[in-house]
Amino acid sequence: MKYISTRGNNQELTASEAIIQGLAEDGGLFVPESMPKVNMAFIEGLENLSYQQRAVKVLSQFLTDYTQAEIEGCVERAYGDQKFDDEAIAPVNMLKNVSVLELWHGPTSAFKDMALQLLPQLLSTALKKTKAKNEVMILVATSGDTGKAALEGFKDVPQTKIMVFYPDNGVSRIQRLQMVTQQGGNVAVTAVKGNFDDAQSGVKEIFSDKAFNAQLNEKGVSLSSANSINWGRLVPQIVYYFSAYADLLKAGKIKAGDQISFVVPTGNFGDILAGFYAREMGLPVKKLVCASNANNVLTDFLNTGIYDRNRDFYKTISPSMDILISSNLERLLYHITNDTAKVAGWMKELAETGKYDVGAEVLARIKGIFAADWSNDDATKAMIAKEYQQEKYVADPHTAVAWNAFEKMADKENVVIVSTASPYKFNESVLTALSKDIAGKNEFQLLDELAAINSFTIPEGLGNLKNAEIRHNQVVNKSEMTKAVLNFALK
């Protein structure tokens, strides 16, 4: 299988080449040239397999230049060795009224672990396969969770360095601590003055700066990405949609062929896009519901066909979704239209004017698959309280945004809420929503406070932050990001 750009240049790369390069030469995103298809026998065959075995079967559909043994090795290194605190890796918690796909049992307590434990293994294997000589430097812009998960995944991986940029004052206290205490001889963490879109656009500008990339190449360094713009970051996420379906089959909650819907808290559109890929492959998905916070640019787009980032930016209690430029939407537009010229035109409009309109015909096709809703902070807090009262389930703010969208759905049959983070990562917001007294308490006292009412214990990685050394203090303006990258690349 070959991978091509959403914007239509003539590159045709293997999966390993696309994973190493990260972003296409024309600024587009790599997508599979054709969509692999699976039948119900394939899906039913996943029912009695472990998560790791399911992953190998699904990934093999896309990573056709990797051998079976290579994929199995990557999967075992990513999900084995008790890195996850639940042996199911991505368990489905089947509550009274809805099922919850929990994607936060990994080492950094967020769904990003599902991909970012695997991406470094895929990249490391790809470097060997292609006999690449350069050191690969991973650049990441994070709204909170991706950064720590990428740092943990790439820590001390041979032939790589990783540099993470996060918005100064734009992540939770726990998220910041997770990043600035990161150990590893090949890691750097830098705060950017501004919001996530400043950090993300800064990283994209560095990738597209041909002169700067040539300068790095002369020094034996190539840039790549661990954001979901990298195909190697997106493809592992397809697995857990199949796995959730298999778990529901095994539990007798559905019969083979029954359609299910997923409600996904969405910022950069990667998580929900993986559900789209699963659907296109043949998984019986009825609807993908995109749940946004007050930065509801995606809700407006999915309802009107007009993407317009020219709006107020809000800092919310669900900061990983505080995004106005959702990069992965570009991939969806390519798959819906199969027209690289149109996609390139829309992305040019977005860069120049901050908006584009896909028109009624494209919107109608998208609405056949996707629905959308959003919640402000008050509604999110109310949902956290309601679900704790009804189910004794403690949801983090991002999951609560999805839960609120689920509550508004007319058809609630066979619905799975995708839970993207542990509530312990957002203990202050969760405890406030549950009307607990948090006055004068630090984040570690708040962890203990939440543990007293939660059925899940404090994740080890969060509990250990209390005595962790602060190792990264750099803060830069967006205009200084390129210099920071150069300094670290040559270090």
Residues annotated as catalytic are 112
Q: Kindly report the number of other CB atoms within 10 A of residue 85's CB atom.
A: 17
What are the tokens at 306?
């007009």
C-alpha 150/C-alpha 227 separation (Å) is 8
DSSP 187: E
Looking only at the bridges linking them, the beta strands covering 92-94 and 99-102 are antiparallel
The H-assigned helical ranges of 135-225 are 145-154, 173-180, 196-208, 210-218
**CB crowding 294-329: b at 16 or more within 10 Å, else e:** bbbbbbbbbeebebbbeeebeebbbbbbbbbbbbbb
What are the tokens at 7?
């914007």
Please give the backbone phi and psi of residue 30, each rounded to the nearest 5 degrees, phi first.
-75, 135
C-alpha 280/C-alpha 285 separation (Å) is 9
Please give the backbone phi and psi of residue 108, each rounded to the nearest 5 degrees, phi first.
-110, 10
DSSP 92: E
Reported residue count of the chain is 491
What are the tokens at 445?
């006292």
Report which residue type is found at 133. K
Asked if residues 245 and 260 have their Cβ atoms less than 8 Å apart, the reply is yes
Kindly write down the DSSP assignment for every residue of 108-127, as one continuous string. TSBTHHHHHTTHHHHHHHHH
User: Which class for 252: exposed (0-12), middle (13-18), buried (19 or more C-beta within 10 A)?
Assistant: exposed
Asked if residues 311 and 297 have their Cβ atoms less than 8 Å apart, the reply is yes
Asked if residues 2 and 11 have their Cβ atoms less than 8 Å apart, the reply is no
Asked if residues 307 and 329 have their Cβ atoms less than 8 Å apart, the reply is yes
